């Protein structure tokens, strides 16, 4: 059974602390989550700077990102001799645990659906653009979509998460649990709140990109420094898909919905890249601290659903 971390500690069901996809801060979070989350020791700053260079991040940008993450209480820095080390703070671990849980569990549920929708209704003035954007972002991450202006729906029991997310913005909402009533007249079904064609295309794009990596793996043409980049991009892609797709129950989806096959491909490819990517991290850390390299973790998605100390 998958155990979901506390959404309040984890930053809105796994939202990566407001970091942008592909940014140095997001890459650092992914690296800690995938290779170092359960270690009680710190990673040398020089090793992190070198690993970020694999993604095309220059030294100055890498060090700025590390400093910012300490200020945002995502990382903690310590100094031993001439070396600075970083490890995830308690807040950082909570955020990473929630994000990794989300990545691991997304698309795995095959439970029967009760037919009940979570609904939140609220009002935000038209001229409060930043507030409306914030509400849209947070509710979208939770799997909600606007059926009508100010009426957002989700096929899962998340109305309390939505009320909490809106409350942090100072917005009061009315939560409802609803089913669609029968009518002899034309009605708009809740699932039309999402553009399913667009979501399906994102899955097909993901499968196309991943096919190229799988071909390189099959032909043994992936170097360790490339593997870590492919593996991290794979995580980012899957996390992005989990925020775009509300994980609608099968009864609401068109035939041949690509989520299941995409999930299988994601899991297989992430694991296939693991050995090479982990070897890259260990080699970089060993160049600075040979004993510390043994603490680099080869983790799979199955490891992400265990509680982190």
**Quick one: tokens of 296?**
């680099």
Over 80: is that where the pLDDT of 303 sits? no
The pLDDT tens digits of the residues spanning 174-207 come to 999 999 999 999 999 999 999 999 999 999 999 9
Over 90: is that where the pLDDT of 133 sits? yes
Contact (Cβ atoms closer than 8 angstroms) between residue 308 and residue 6: no
Average pLDDT (162-171) is 96
Mean pLDDT of the chain: 89
Q: How confident is the model at residue 305 (pLDDT cuts 50, 70, 90)?
A: low
Portion of the chain with pLDDT greater than 70, in percent = 91
Average pLDDT (80-101) is 88
Which pTM was predicted? 0.85
Q: How confident is the model at residue 301 (pLDDT cuts 50, 70, 90)?
A: confident
Structure confidence at residue 300 (pLDDT):
79
Distance between CA atoms of residues 145 and 209, nearest Å: 27
> 9-18, 128-137, 298-307: which has the minimum mean pLDDT?
9-18
Tally of residues, the chain: 309
Over 90: is that where the pLDDT of 16 sits? no
């Amino acid at each position: 059974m998958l155990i979901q971390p506390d959404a309040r500690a984890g930053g809105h069901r796994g939202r990566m602390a407001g970091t942008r996809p592909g940014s140095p801060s997001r890459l650092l979070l992914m690296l800690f989550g995938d290779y170092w989350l359960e270690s009680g020791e710190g990673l040398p700053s020089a090793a992190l700077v070198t690993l970020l260079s694999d993604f095309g991040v220059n030294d100055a940008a890498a060090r700025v990102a590390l400093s910012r993450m300490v200020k945002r209480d995502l990382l903690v820095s310590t100094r031993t001799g001439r070396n600075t080390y970083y490890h995830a703070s308690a807040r950082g671990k909570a955020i990473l645990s929630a994000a990794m849980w989300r990545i691991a569990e997304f698309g795995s549920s095959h439970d029967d659906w009760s037919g009940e929708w979570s609904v939140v209704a609220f009002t935000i003035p038209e001229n409060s653009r930043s507030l409306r954007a914030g509400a849209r972002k947070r509710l979208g991450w939770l799997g909600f979509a606007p059926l009508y202006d100010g009426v957002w729906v989700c096929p899962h029991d998340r109305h309390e998460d939505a009320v909490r997310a809106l409350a942090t913005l100072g917005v009061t909402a009315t939560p409802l649990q609803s089913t669609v009533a029968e009518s002899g007249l034309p009605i708009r079904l809740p699932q039309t709140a999402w553009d399913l064609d667009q979501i399906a295309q994102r899955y097909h794009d993901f499968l196309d990109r991943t096919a190229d990596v799988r071909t390189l793996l099959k032909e043994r043409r992936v170097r360790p420094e490339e593997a870590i980049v492919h593996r991290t991009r794979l995580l980012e892609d899957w996390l992005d898909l989990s925020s775009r797709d509300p994980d609608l129950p099968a009864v609401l989806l068109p035939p041949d919905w690509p989520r299941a096959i995409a999930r299988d491909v994601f899991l297989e490819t992430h694991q296939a890249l693991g050995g090479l990517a982990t070897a890259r991290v260990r080699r970089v850390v060993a160049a600075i601290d040979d004993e510390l390299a043994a603490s680099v973790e080869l983790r799979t998605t199955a490891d992400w659903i265990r509680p982190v100390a």
